[in-house]
Amino acid sequence: MNLRKRFATVAMTGALIGGGLLGTSSAGAATQGEAVAQSCYGNARDYTKSAGTHIYPNFPTFNYLKTTSSCADINIKTDTNRYVKVCFLLSGGGKECQADYKLATAGSWKAVATNVRDNTQYQFYFRSDVESTGHHAA
């Protein structure tokens, strides 16, 4: 189930609880936005981009990451401020990168690409070639 469908389900459940139709209390429950973020970021993975390259994943594999049904967006949480964009693997070969970099502020999640289909292959492309560490979720 994609994130938009999950969000709609959470929203409907929230409306039913809020309207008293389910007869339960919503005290202590996560907000709709928190529930969506938890399902996406709960599957986050660590990354380390080596110095001397702009791409993650990079040497020696040069593999691509792949989006999942957990997130509708490609997100990054860097340990230091970094400008980053996403490059997508094209079905016919080659890749296409976003035109503009986005600033990922240290310690905060940043959606670098939005509304991305499940199983899309991609790489992060950093403006700087210094080492970068953090987390990603897609």
What pTM value is reported for the model? 0.72
Instruction: Please state, as a whole number, how many other Cβ atoms lie within 10 Å of the Cβ of residue 53.
Output: 17
3 state SS of 121? strand
Cα distance between residue 101 and residue 92, in whole Å? 25
Q: How confident is the model at residue 59, as a pLDDT?
A: 65
Q: List per-residue pLDDT tens for the chain, 138 residues long.
A: 444 444 444 443 444 344 443 344 444 455 555 555 567 998 899 999 999 999 999 766 668 999 999 999 999 999 999 999 999 999 888 889 999 999 999 999 999 999 999 999 999 999 999 999 999 999
DSSP string of 71-101, one letter each residue: -SSEEEEESS-EEEEEEEEPTTSSEEE-SS-
- The answer to whether 57 touches 95, Cβ cutoff 8 Å, is no
